[in-house]
Amino acid sequence: MGINDESELEANLQIGPTDLGQVRLFIEAGQFEVPMDFTPDEAEEIAEEIMAAAQAARSLRK
């Protein structure tokens, strides 16, 4: 499956800080749970990538 492939799969995403000073993305889909921990700097880089992708998606909708 690629980035442009649609899916009927539903997932829940939670984002928050951990007790160890990391930022956790926690993805739950059916019986699968995927915790992904990042340093604050890595999390900011990911946030920048999400913002850039959102801007690119907006430009495609016009």
5-59 pLDDT, tens digit each: 888 889 999 999 999 999 999 999 999 999 999 999 999 999 999 999 999 999 9
Residue 1, pLDDT score: 72
What are the φ/ψ torsions at residue 30 (nearest 5 degrees)? Answer: 60, -125
State the Cα–Cα distance between residues 58 and 26, nearest whole angstrom.
26
- Which residue reads 């801007």 in tokens? 55
Residue 5, pLDDT score: 85
Amino acid identity for residue 35 in this structure: P
Residue 18, pLDDT score: 98
Q: What is the pTM of this model?
A: 0.81
